[in-house]
Amino acid sequence: MSVSLYYTAKRGVPITGQERAACREVVERYLAEYPLGELYEGFCIYDCPAAGVLLDGATKLPLDQGQEHLARVLDYWADCLQEIIALLPGAGWHIHLDDVDLTPHFHFPQ
């Protein structure tokens, strides 16, 4: 059983190759340094976002190891997402945990 963290960014200007590569580098670093035991599911950025979407993805979070572990995993992937947010200035984000909006808990560059 799991819940998922979903993240979508939109911006009037499409993502550049450099931005996409920088986002992937952040994800790869977080995957390589994952400190919370066996990886339940890695941070996922979809390859082909919908029209008008800059970046889109989801990450399943474990429920089977207790609330404390779930919170630690969520915090870890939220840190990864926060770094990605900083790489994409001017984007409008929607971030949610299944049906709970988490967008106000993140910081967005001006």
What is the identity of the amino acid at 66? G
**Residue 1 — pLDDT band, cuts 50, 70, 90?**
low
The percent of residues in the chain predicted with pLDDT above 70, rounded, is 98
CA distance 72 to 105: 16
CB burial string 18-42: b at 16+ within 10 A, e below: ebbebbeebbeebeeebeeeeebee
Contact (Cβ atoms closer than 8 angstroms) between residue 63 and residue 52: no
Average pLDDT over residues 11-40: 94
pLDDT one-digit tens code per residue, 9-19:
999 888 999 99
* The pLDDT of residue 79 is above 80: yes
Question: What pLDDT, on the 0 to 100 scale, is given for residue 60?
Answer: 94
Q: Which domains does the chain show, CATH number per domain?
A: 2-105 (3.30.70)
